[in-house]
Structure 1
């Protein structure tokens, strides 16, 4: 984000500086050219007057003396051409041969045309600067004066101007970079600290806060809102942990007392009650494991999953047997299908709790005398427990909300419940890397699949 912000500010700044520098450079070059042109026009006018007098008197001695002195001092060549286009007088003893462009200018001047201002070009494009002025006498052209000057001086002046402008542009760009980098650091520093604080809160460091005395006013307000929100979240989580801790402690004592009472009663029962007593003991031990998990969650803020090798087929059979007693009075039967051995490295307590929530939901919505099918399959990656009921089912739109907390379909009617069963099962499976899938078969009812990831292959 810092790089993007720097680019957003810096690119327009550099573009503006380059545009202004280019315009200033071109203006400086044009100004120097205009100054040189103005000086040459003045010199040309002077020599045109001198040449008219020399041509009228047909004596070139005075003109050539002035022209030679002018060339020695300023390095500018001067020549006069007669109406035939031949050199009549020159500052050089041996005047050079005109090139095609210079010859054309002389012809135009002899025809009476005055010189035009040169186009705006850089001096190094042409080797020298040539201007030709016609010489008039009583309105008639009697000759032409040519001034030819090298462009070394204006070229040097223009290059100096360009170097100065380039240095100014580079310094401005460097200052702009420093300014933009500092501005980006000042603006984004609170954002970076907010990001670090949120990451700390995600790791469980609920006391992470951000200083509110730096950055723009808008980000300072956002920082204050974040700190207030973090404090509220910390208070809510503290209350939840306190409630879970108290509830777990309060439930352990009645549970232990109940298990002791079961052991006491079991001593007076015959052998025909042995299976029922053992099932009661197993349910008590399972509730004790759930309470221990809840206590661990309350103490540390997260549940430490105890992964072990679990036979999902055996686990499902035990839960089906336990729920058969609950579903029996309503005439709801269970049918166990699938494989007889599905080994998976996972948390037994979490899988049992999630499966209980799903079976409870299936039993509640199954019509009397119907059948709930529980299927178990698996491979090396995951095990799948599918619970299929014959209830009213859900539409495609309702399936999207089936695992939302406190959501209940319109078909629920007077069926008791809070709409938390599938949501809790979803959260439990997610804590061990699994997921809950809810589908509606074409022939009615609901199919809920518990996908249990095999921890051995993670």
Structure 2
């Protein structure tokens, strides 16, 4: 906005200067030319009057050469005096015989001998004078006695005209500079309320606290916009706070009744008929599913309220821990859980405390649920191989794609690949929606696991996408920023990162 305002000021000032200075330059040039012409005419009339007296008194030969030389010296030009027949009477500069013989045929002298005063003026393209010659008849009463021709040098006039144009150009540049300095200050002052609104909007967009902006600065339109923004930000913050509070409080309050309900259902097992045991088991299963859903909602609510900063996480250490924790459960289901990747080249990532563990737990739980016996699931951290890879996610629009901002050492990808039935492209796009489950998904899921994975990845500054695995299953790819090398990065965590967001046990979500 500042640049546009400054450009508009400079454009208006330049147009105004052009409209004023160009006519002023031409007016001055024309005035200077008229002044020189009138001065030359006056000088010619003076010499003509002197020549008339000298010729009438018979002293032309004695007085006129001296007069011509004196006049030429004074004006720095050339003076010619001829009689009625065009013969040379006096000259300030020597002439050749041919020139003396043809004086009567010169345009200005011929007209003056006929009794007409002339002025031959040739101007330059910017209004300056390039050549000036004035011819005046010499009369004594009504008798024509000859003619006077004066040629005036125009170099000084030409230089003065150019000097004026140069002054006008320099004055215009000084004026534009002054307008630029003053206009920049005015533009900064005018755009200050807009910049405050921009900063407040950016802070609100990245999840910060909505700080009210002042509504006493700027024009009425800006003040009205600021007031509208304050109301919108306050309402949005209130709605978000209410949503977080409701999700957290509701899920927390539901935990105790659900635990009591499950306990009562389990106590009914000995008193219920054998043919009703199936319904009891189904009720217990649905109770467990509802409990997992409540746990997922509570985890999201805690994530919304969390203001933790990303810290350095040893990805290899975390993957090894989660592999050891999940391998026994995988073996019970006949599924092989493998570690892959080049661990020496992986390094550390920046993530929220406990986020990587929670991400792996949810992805491994989903992979176990869809993996048939005899298949395998792999945990594979790696560096991005190509800068052309693109990540797709649904936050907040239905589908947006983000290219790699940097490849190589800037990012680290964590792949969890299974050999299950996989998903279609449309299902992979919707998989991160809360409570959404694929039509053919196994029973027991809540539809919150992948949504929580996406929230944790975004909060850590990364992305997550679902792809088709090489063997037909699903490849869940989590991209996290690599921790900078050296002491410039955040402080290293303890030997084992804390996990404040961990709310589910293996196999529970």
Q: TM over 0.5: same fold?
A: yes
Cα distance in structure 1, aligned partners of 2:469 and 2:208: 45
More helix by percentage: 1
Tell me which residue corresponds to 1:117. 121
Aligned to 2:338, what secondary structure does the other structure show? Answer: strand
User: Are 2:380 and 1:377 equivalent residues in the alignment?
Assistant: yes
Structure 2 regions of 5+ residues with no counterpart?
A: 112-117, 265-291, 384-408, 490-509
When residues 43 and 358 of structure 1 are mapped into structure 2, their CA distance, relative to the original with a 3 A threshold, is same
Question: Map of 1:275-286 to 2, 5 A cutoff?
Answer: none
Question: Map of 1:21-100 to 2, 5 A cutoff?
Answer: 21-41=21-41, 44=44, 60=60, 64=64, 71=71, 75=75, 78-81=79-82, 87-89=88-90, 95-97=92-94
Of residues 190, 195, 198, the one that matches 2:193 is: 190
User: After superposition, what is the alpha-carbon deviation per residue over 1:331-369, rounded to whole angstroms, capped at 9, x for unaligned?
Assistant: xx5332334996976667423432344345556667xx5
User: Are 2:442 and 1:412 equivalent residues in the alignment?
Assistant: no
Tell me which residue corresponds to 2:238. 235
User: Are 2:388 and 1:355 equivalent residues in the alignment?
Assistant: no
Asked whether the 8 Å contact 2:293–2:446 carries over to 1, the reply is no
Tell me which residue corresponds to 1:316. 323
TM-score after normalising by structure 1: 0.65
User: Are 2:220 and 1:217 equivalent residues in the alignment?
Assistant: yes
When residues 385 and 130 of structure 1 are mapped into structure 2, their CA distance, relative to the original with a 3 A threshold, is same
How many aligned residue pairs are there?
412
Cα distance in structure 1, aligned partners of 2:424 and 2:67: 109
Deviation at 1:208, TM superposition (A): 0.9
Cα distance in structure 1, aligned partners of 2:430 and 2:424: 8
Deviation at 1:442, TM superposition (A): 6.4
User: After superposition, what is the alpha-carbon deviation per residue over 1:169-194, rounded to whole angstroms, capped at 9, x for unaligned?
Assistant: 46744653355234312431112212
Structure 1 regions of 5+ residues with no counterpart?
A: 262-285
Aligned to 1:401, what secondary structure does the other structure show? Answer: helix
Deviation at 1:209, TM superposition (A): 1.3
Asked whether the 8 Å contact 2:251–2:295 carries over to 1, the reply is no
Cα distance in structure 2, aligned partners of 1:201 and 1:294: 20
When residues 53 and 109 of structure 1 are mapped into structure 2, their CA distance, relative to the original with a 3 A threshold, is farther
Deviation at 1:303, TM superposition (A): 7.0
Tell me which residue corresponds to 1:387. 417
When residues 224 and 180 of structure 1 are mapped into structure 2, their CA distance, relative to the original with a 3 A threshold, is same
Tell me which residue corresponds to 1:271. none
Asked whether the 8 Å contact 1:124–1:155 carries over to 2, the reply is yes
When residues 389 and 257 of structure 1 are mapped into structure 2, their CA distance, relative to the original with a 3 A threshold, is same
Cα distance in structure 1, aligned partners of 2:428 and 2:303: 29
Tell me which residue corresponds to 2:506. none
When residues 296 and 106 of structure 1 are mapped into structure 2, their CA distance, relative to the original with a 3 A threshold, is farther
When residues 374 and 78 of structure 1 are mapped into structure 2, their CA distance, relative to the original with a 3 A threshold, is same
Higher relative contact order (CA 8 A, sep 6+): 2
Q: Indicate the RMSD between aligned Cα atoms, in angstroms.
A: 5.5
Asked whether the 8 Å contact 1:25–1:161 carries over to 2, the reply is yes
